[in-house]
Amino acid sequence: MRLHLHLLSDSTGETLENIAKAALAQFDDVETLRHFWPMVRSEAHLERILQEIAQNPGLVIFTLVNNDVRRTLESRCRALGLPAIAPLDSVSHALSNLLGQEAKARPGRQHTLDAAYFARVDAIQFTMAHDDGIGAEDWEECDIVLAGVSRSSKTPTSIYLANRGFKTANIPIVVESPPPPELYTLKHPLVVGLTTSADRLVAIRRNRLLSLNQATETSYVDQDSVQREIAFARRMFADNGWPVIDVTRRSIEETAAAIIQLCNERALQARNA
C-alpha cells in the first residue's frame, strides 16, 4: 500500500514528524511518501502546497495557528475529499478548559530561546567534548556517566541524552586499560553501566571492521575474548553498585528513557532523604 502523507507546519515541523513516525510504526507494509512543508505562514505559500496536495492526494496532518491559513487548508481538503487532521487540537482544547485561558496563536513558541534551550546547547557541547573517556577531570560536572565495553552504544546514547539536556560523558571499559581513578569517586553524576550480549557485540564489531576494511580475525571479535570483556565490565558495575542496562534489544531512545527514569528516581530519593 502506498500513502502520500502531507505534513504542514508553521514552525520547524519537528512535532509533526514525531507524531507521524509514532503512528506509522503501528502499520505494516505501507510505503509512505512524505511531503514535508515547514514554515507555512501565509495563504500564498499554502496555495503552492495545495497544488501539490491535489496532485498527490493522501492524508494531511497540520499544526497551523493562523486561523485564516488553517480555514483555507481545511476547506480545500474537504473539497478534494481528503482528511485533514490537527493532532494537537484536543490537547490544546483540554488545556484551555482547565487553565481558563485561550491558547496563544504564536507559531514555534516551543522553540523559544530561553534558559532551557541554552542549557541544552551547553549539554550538547559538553557531551561532545567528553566522548570516549576524554576529560575525566570534568566528570564531576556531569549529570550522567556511561560506562561500557567498546560498541555498546555509549556515544549515540550520550548524544541523545545531551539533546534532552543532560550533560553526559562516556568511558570505554577495557580489560587491559583500567579506567581513571576519578570514575570511582564521583558524587554528582549518575554512573550507568551499559552491557549487551556477546553475539550482538561480535556482529556489531565485525561490521565495524568491515566498514573500515580491517581484518576481522582479531581478539576484538573473538567470541571468548568478547565474553571475558563483558564479564569484566559486569563485575566492575556490580563491585561499584552502578545500575546496569542491557542494550541488546533496546533502541537508543529506549536506553535513554531507562537512564532518565533512573535519574528521576535518584532525584526523588534525594528529595525524600
Q: Which residues are annotated as a binding site for ADP?
A: 148-155
Q: Which residues are annotated as a binding site?
A: 148-155
Q: On the CB side of 154, how many CA atoms lie within 13 Å of its CA?
A: 28
Q: How many helices (H) and strands (E) does the chain have?
A: 9, 8
With beta carbons less than 8 A apart as the criterion, state whether 8 and 60 touch. Answer: yes
Residue 60 bridge partners (DSSP): 6, 84
Concatenating the DSSP letter of every residue in 111-147 gives G---HHHHHHHHHHHHHHHT-TT--GGGGGG-SEEEE
Cell matching residue 206 = 565485525
Name residue, grid cell 483540554.
Answer: 94
2-9: strand order across its sheet:
31-37, 2-9, 59-63, 84-85
Q: How many CB atoms lie within 10 A of CB 15?
A: 15
